[in-house]
A = this chain, B = another copy of it.
């Protein structure tokens, strides 16, 4: 089996590692816009050979793990180049614009729209992790638009990797993911910004920071090159979540200004329900 991975960073590289373990007979062809990443992936043994779009016609499977702004440019070209029996799937964090971009492509049936919910705040081939996807949710959009045999080819791999599959339309995906993922990143980046700005002249102050601060600002380490296009693609939904978040912060501030400590207690007590909800998040316990 000839598997091409386009974009060999944390996400693409982690796919490669699982495939090498589960399908030792497969040959992994790597393509990355950054030649240094291709070289690194080869040295680390994540890919078997460096490749290019010219070879895409021999691919049985193409895994596209590039930022969503590159996705909408590259995906049509990739579909142009593959053969009729090749399945192409992506891992983009927004699905609406990506699905729309290829909606009328003559090879739409070769494409499966996916979003595996997994990752860390690190990036590049050296950040790739074996078994990253075990127990994680993979959201599949518009599954009915993919040829049946090609759905099967991709889903067999997902199941072997231990992923939970969840079907959803692109609009619902983009709306809900804004709450459970995109907003977390903004809250974390802005928390980091607020503290860095305030404490820029007092470096020792971070000696006072504990694991709580570390946990809430962890996502502020994330890649701006990946996240800027996500916010662009999902602008309207992200603005909705931001408005609601800012509104809740302002209400909390108002309670504090009014010395309404019963109100503050109740806000926190109600939100403690998150304990039960987090127990339901698969394998992140």
Contact flag A221-B136 (CB < 8 Å), given A176-B208, A216-B216, A244-B194 = no
Query: Are B235 and A256 neighbours in the complex by a CB distance under 8 Å?
Result: yes
Query: Are B280 and A190 neighbours in the complex by a CB distance under 8 Å?
Result: no
Cβ of A216 to closest chain B Cβ, rounded Å: 4
Contact flag A179-B195 (CB < 8 Å), given A210-B118, A210-B281, A256-B238 = yes
In angstroms, Cα B199 to Cα A239, docked, is 16
In angstroms, Cα B248 to Cα A193, docked, is 8
Query: Are A209 and B224 neighbours in the complex by a CB distance under 8 Å?
Result: no
Residues of B within 8 A of A224 (CB): 264-266, 268-269, 272
Residues of B within 8 A of A278 (CB): 214, 217-218, 221
Query: Are B188 and A216 neighbours in the complex by a CB distance under 8 Å?
Result: yes
A15 at the interface (CB under 8 A from B): no
In angstroms, Cα B214 to Cα A136, docked, is 13
Interface segment, A44-52, A146-154, A226-234? A226-234
Query: Are B210 and A284 neighbours in the complex by a CB distance under 8 Å?
Result: yes
Contact flag A228-B261 (CB < 8 Å), given A137-B208, A216-B216, A249-B245 = yes
Query: Are A267 and B189 neighbours in the complex by a CB distance under 8 Å?
Result: yes
A202 at the interface (CB under 8 A from B): yes
- Number of copies of this protein chain within its complex: 2
Residues of B within 8 A of A189 (CB): 252, 267-268, 271
Contact flag A242-B231 (CB < 8 Å), given A220-B272, A274-B196 = no
Query: Are A205 and B176 neighbours in the complex by a CB distance under 8 Å?
Result: yes
Residues of B within 8 A of A215 (CB): 184, 215-216, 218-219
Using a CB-CB cutoff of 8 Å, which residues 67-114 of chain A contact chain B?
none
A157 at the interface (CB under 8 A from B): no
Contact check: which of B183, B239, B242 meets A195 at CB < 8 Å? B183
- Fill in one digit per residue for A130-160: 1 if any B CB lies within 8 Å of its CB, else 0: 0000001101000000000000000000000
Give A contacts to B, CB under 8 Å.
Answer: 117-121, 136-137, 139, 164, 166, 173, 176-177, 179-181, 183-199, 202-222, 224-225, 227-229, 231-232, 235, 238-239, 241-246, 248-250, 252-253, 256-257, 259, 261, 264-275, 277-278, 280-282, 284
